[in-house]
């Protein structure tokens, strides 16, 4: 298949500088410039070049100079020509074409990966999403393709406020909702706003999400790890951290321990926030996925002026959509919206309109039910497989979310050696210690193996296979 001839203006742009060389060096300059254009791939193989007459006219040089250039590069193999067939870039030239690298996190050499955090991307509702896209492209007013309200399209904020009120028990004023590109951006927005208001430190759950250690410092705020107890974030260390006036928590299903904050601890945290004029950022990363009972309502519903609420579609649809929301207290709304405006001028309007339509037509509720059923089945498969291949394993945390905490029976430690051994067998797992802030290793000499096992992205058959491979790799080395 051949390419159409480039326009005279395109050829002129490639060779204009060479054509402006002094007359004595002009021929060599044209040859060098054309040779480099072929080598670099700016002129692709099988591209037809302009005739010598047309190119000479475009460059303002003699036709003989262009003819000589074509003949020289044809002799060298860069070009090819035939009587009446024109002049073409030779297909024999292998141009140095830089390729874009993919830096997305990928598991290399892994047969079964239990690393948490990813949903089953095969459950993405392609047909319903495509229908939403067609509908939006048909009905979207032209003016909505302009720069949006930095908070997000009113249509989406209205639909989303209704969903969050109904499903998560939040106090959702659509005027206080900001559409963001995931919880990471929500966290960053609040970090900048809090820093501008004099907040120097934010408390985070320990264990918790390790990326917070690098995220908050970019906003000028220091991270203070705070330990957990059986009811949630421990109050003693929090109260003794006098410079902490903001917290990031996952109270409905703490990551990674899997506990739900007790009602008493929720009330105590709100009392703390009021006493220090502080703020709690609630990351409701998987609040819709509770399997043994109705999900616990969001903490934000108890005090909307002390709790900012963040969520996304990363666990329910796909993280690649980069679509989330931040519900802020009235006192912070103006500053957060202004920071969002200066950061990116608002979230893409087509994506917002599609998600709004998806919500309005009930497609998102159907997707949540579909995922909930699939993930509950997979959790059950994982628990059953652990009981079969690692008898005596203790699975802790509420029946919810996309991961479990599995404490293996004695004899499989130390943890670091166990993770390395099963990793060599192609099974990727992460221990709880990997989610500690600072030192990400278990205490030296600790024989206990506690694993954070993600299951949502794996079908039951793969879960069973992965646990079997893990047992085979570790079984013969277990100490009785």
Q: Would you say domain 8-89 falls under CATH 1.10.10.10?
A: yes
Is residue 161 a contact partner of residue 173, using CB atoms and an 8 Å limit? yes
Could you tell me the two tokens for 137? 């492209």
The Cα–Cα gap between 240 and 219 comes to 24
Q: How far apart are the first and last CA of the chain?
A: 68
What pLDDT was estimated at residue 280? Answer: 98
Question: How far, CA to CA in Å, does 148 sit from each of 153, 179, 342, 353?
Answer: 7, 11, 13, 11
Please tell me what DSSP assigns to residue 23.
G
In tens, the pLDDT along 99-152 reads: 778 887 777 778 999 999 999 999 999 999 999 999 999 999 999 999 999 999
The pLDDT value given to residue 16: 81
Element (H, E) at 288: none
Distance CA 203, CA 279 (A): 10
Whole-angstrom distance, CA of residue 110 vs CA of residue 396:
26
pLDDT score recorded for residue 81? 86
Query: Hey, where are the domains in the chain?
Result: 8-89, 112-118+366-475, 125-361
Q: Is 95 helix (H, G, I), strand (E, B) or coil?
A: coil
The answer to whether 56 and 62 have CB atoms below 8 angstroms apart is: yes
pLDDT < 50 regions, the chain: 1-8, 479-480
pLDDT value, residue 413: 84
Nearest Cα to Cα of residue 436 among 456, 450, 454: 450
Nearest to 185 by CA among 70, 305, 310: 310
DSSP reduced 3-state for 56: helix
The pLDDT score that the predictor gives to residue 7 is 42
Span 161-205, pLDDT tens digits? 999 999 999 999 999 999 999 999 999 999 999 999 999 999 999
Please give the Cα distance from 325 to 55 (Å, whole number): 55
CATH 1.20.1420.30 for domain 125-361, yes or no, is: no
For the domain 112-118+366-475, what is the CATH code? 3.90.1150.10
CA distance 442 to 313: 33
Across the beta sheet with 307-312, the strand order is 177-180, 324-327, 307-312, 279-283, 244-249, 201-206, 222-229, 232-233
d(CA 252, CA 384): 25
């Amino acid at each position: 298949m051949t390419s159409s001839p480039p326009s005279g203006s395109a050829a002129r742009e490639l060779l204009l500088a060479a054509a402006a060389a002094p007359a004595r060096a002009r021929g060599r300059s044209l040859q060098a410039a054309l040779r480099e254009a072929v080598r670099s791939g700016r002129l692709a193989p099988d591209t037809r070049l302009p005739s010598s007459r047309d190119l000479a006219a475009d460059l303002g040089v003699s036709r003989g100079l262009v003819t000589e250039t074509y003949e020289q590069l044809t002799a060298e193999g860069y070009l090819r020509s035939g009587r009446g067939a024109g002049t073409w870039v030779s297909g024999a030239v292998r141009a140095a074409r830089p390729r874009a690298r993919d830096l997305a996190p990928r598991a290399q050499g892994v047969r079964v990966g239990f690393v948490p955090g990813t949903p089953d991307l095969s459950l993405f509702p392609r047909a319903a999403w495509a229908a939403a896209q067609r509908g939006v492209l048909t009905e979207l007013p032209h003016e909505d393709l302009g720069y949006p309200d930095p908070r997000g399209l009113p249509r989406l904020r209205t639909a989303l406020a209704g969903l969050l009120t109904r499903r998560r028990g939040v106090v959702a004023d659509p005027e206080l909702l900001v559409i963001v590109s995931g919880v990471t951006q929500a966290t960053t927005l609040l970090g900048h706003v809090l820093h501008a208001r004099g907040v120097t430190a934010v408390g985070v759950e320990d264990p918790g999400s390790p990326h917070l250690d690098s995220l908050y410092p970019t906003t000028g705020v220091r991270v203070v790890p705070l330990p957990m107890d059986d009811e949630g974030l421990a109050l003693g260390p929090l109260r003794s951290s006098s410079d902490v006036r903001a917290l990031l928590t996952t109270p409905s299903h703490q990551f990674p321990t899997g506990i739900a904050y007790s009602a008493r601890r929720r009330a105590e945290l709100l009392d703390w926030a009021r006493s220090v004029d502080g703020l709690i950022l609630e990351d409701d990363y998987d609040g819709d996925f509770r399997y043994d009972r109705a999900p616990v309502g969001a903490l934000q519903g108890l005090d909307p002026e002390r709790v900012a609420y963040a969520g996304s579609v990363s666990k329910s649809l796909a993280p690649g959509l980069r679509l989330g929301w931040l519900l802020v207290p009235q006192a912070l709304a103006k500053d957060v919206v202004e920071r969002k405006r200066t950061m990116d001028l608002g979230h893409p309007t087509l994506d917002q309109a599609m998600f709004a339509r998806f919500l309005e037509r009930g497609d998102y509720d159907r997707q949540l039910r579909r995922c909930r059923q699939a993930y509950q089945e997979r959790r059950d498969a994982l628990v059953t497989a652990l009981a079969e291949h690692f008898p005596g394993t203790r699975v802790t945390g509420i029946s919810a979310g996309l991961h479990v905490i599995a404490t293996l029976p004695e004899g499989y430690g130390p943890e670091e050696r166990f993770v390395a051994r099963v990793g060599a067998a192609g099974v990727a797992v992460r221990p709880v210690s990997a989610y500690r802030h600072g030192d990400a290793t278990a205490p030296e000499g600790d024989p206990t193996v506690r694993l954070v096992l993600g299951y949502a992205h794996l079908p039951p058959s793969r879960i069973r296979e992965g646990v079997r491979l893990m047992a085979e790799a570790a079984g013969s080395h277990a100490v009785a």
